Amino acid sequence: MTGITATTRVQLVTTIGLCFLVALMEGLDLQAAGIAAQGMAAAFGLDKMQMGWVFSAGILGLLPGAFVGGWLADRIGRKKVLMASVALFGLFSLVTAVAWDYHSLVAARCLTGVGLGAALPNLIALTSEAAGPRLRGTAVSMMYCGVPLGAALAAVIGIIGFSGGWKVVFYVGGVVPLLIVPLLGRYLPESAQFQADQSGGERSEANGVWHGLFRNGAASATLLLWLSYFFTLMVVYILVNWLPSLLVAQGFDARQAGWVMLALQLGAAVGTLALGALMDRLPAWAMSLLIYLGILGSLTALGMAVTLPAMLAAGFVAGLFATGGQGVLYAFTPLFYPTRMRATGVGSAVAVGRLGAMSGPLIAGKMLALGTGTAGVMLASAPGIVLAAAAMFCLSRRGGSRQAD
């Protein structure tokens, strides 16, 4: 962090640290439904398609949450929207734990998703703007590694198997975010770039969202980002939501499945940091090839592995490239939008990615209902990864011509 003042350094460390805590809780809640799936299905008598809707309800909430959260942040500030988002997903995580029937469970997951979706664009915008262009990739990766670590924490809770059963992970995912909100209010600095733009009159036009996403040559970057987000998140959420159940169906017990999920999320944390560091050193096109070839290889390994050690290794590599690559996407996206549109641009890409994330568990549930098994689900994911790789490669060849302030 050479070349920045002591005050700026303190603000950057504080921003990364607090945003990391939020990302940790976001990761825990995103993984919670997958970890609790067996217990929820037994408690409410749900079949595979109904569980697919429980998974997808949370992701459905992420879609409007991401877009509206980004849009509001460009108007009233990143900090205010982030605090409201964290309070929202904490509250409805608690409601998930006390849901009384299938419909209340789906509604609670959907509203939890709204809060989670609104938080992420603000985490990315706050961190990237605090870091500046030179440190942006590293800073966003350091913050975002909280997501897989939070998911790993959820896996640990599942492995330990507290007496509270499947509800424990939702109690943790509800109480801790509500405790974080006052810390954000007291210590999190608002984005200096956002404040400068506001004081200078550089406000986003209320009716100019689509114009800002597609004007002045931005259309191709926006569309390529959307395509890459859609298919990358589709695969990530198939793994996050269905992998524990797929492993149980293959003959592994719930504890072994928990260990594989822990390996997946530890790989994701390592991948987020390692790939984020490589992003500052390798050309973007090389990063694209590395990430998506890694995803394809790990999906193949997951479909073929039959022993626990092989599945643990495959899970680690899948997390490294799939979630780690997702972190690189999040660090890459702010480069293509100016401050007054940054949270909106990131939020729109995240929202489109959530469409892929929502469709993934539903497609996997349908394929499993048809009897395709784990290998069939992994094989069906491959074409989407090829399309995401092509989109990211084309975008990276633009060379950051729209790198923002």
Which tens digit of pLDDT belongs to each residue from 7-65? 678 888 999 999 999 999 998 988 888 788 888 888 888 887 788 788 778 878 888 88
Asked if residue 113 is part of any domain, the answer here is yes
- CA–CA distance, 402 with 17 (Å, rounded to integer): 29
Q: Given this model, what pLDDT does residue 109 score?
A: 92
Q: Given this model, what pLDDT does residue 207 score?
A: 46
Q: What is the pLDDT of residues 167-224, one digit of tens each?
A: 888 999 999 999 999 999 999 988 877 777 766 555 544 445 556 677 666 778 888 8
Asked if residue 207 is part of any domain, the answer here is no
pLDDT at 356 over 90: no
Q: Which two tokens stand for residue 305?
A: 């592995």
Residues 6+ apart with CB under 8 A from 119: 22, 26, 65, 69, 82, 85, 86, 89
Note down the domain range covering 17: 9-193+215-396
Average pLDDT on 152-179 reads 82
Q: What is the pLDDT of residues 221-269, one digit of tens each?
A: 888 889 988 988 888 777 777 777 777 777 787 778 878 888 887 888 8
Q: Which two tokens stand for residue 338?
A: 């100016």
Asked if residue 404 is part of any domain, the answer here is no
Q: Which range has the top average pLDDT, 64-68, 81-85, 200-204?
A: 81-85
Task: Give the count of beta carbons closer than 10 Å to the beta carbon of residue 202.
Answer: 13
pLDDT bin (cut points 50, 70, 90) of residue 381 is confident
What torsion do the CA atoms of 110, 67, 365, 152 make, to the nearest 10 degrees? -80
pLDDT at 166 over 70: yes
pLDDT at 108 over 90: yes
Residues 6+ apart with CB under 8 A from 84: 118
Closest to 30 in 3D by CA, of 353, 371, 375: 353
pLDDT at 3 over 70: no
Contact present, 82 and 129 (Cβ < 8 Å) = no
Long-range contact set of residues 300-305: C-beta below 8 Å, sequence gap at least 24: 300/378, 302/239, 302/243, 302/374, 302/378, 303/374, 303/375, 303/377, 303/378, 303/379, 304/375
Q: Given this model, what pLDDT does residue 82 score?
A: 95
Q: Given this model, what pLDDT does residue 174 score?
A: 93
Asked if residue 271 is part of any domain, the answer here is yes
Asked if residue 39 is part of any domain, the answer here is yes
Coil vs helix vs strand at 204: coil
What angle is formed at CA 221 by the lines to CA 217 and CA 227, rounded to 5 degrees? 145
Average pLDDT on 386-391 reads 86
Could you give the percent of the chain with pLDDT greater than 70? 89
Structurally, the chain folds into a number of domains equal to 1
Residues 6+ apart with CB under 8 A from 398: 220, 221
CATH of the domain at 360: 1.20.1250.20
Contact present, 228 and 391 (Cβ < 8 Å) = yes
Asked if residue 2 is part of any domain, the answer here is no
Asked if residue 358 is part of any domain, the answer here is yes
Element spanning 14, H or E: helix 6-35
Asked if residue 89 is part of any domain, the answer here is yes
Q: What is the pLDDT of residues 271-321, one digit of tens each?
A: 888 887 787 777 777 888 888 888 888 888 877 778 888 889 988 998 888
pLDDT bin (cut points 50, 70, 90) of residue 343 is confident
Which range (89-93, 171-175, 391-395) has the least confidence? 391-395
pLDDT bin (cut points 50, 70, 90) of residue 401 is very low
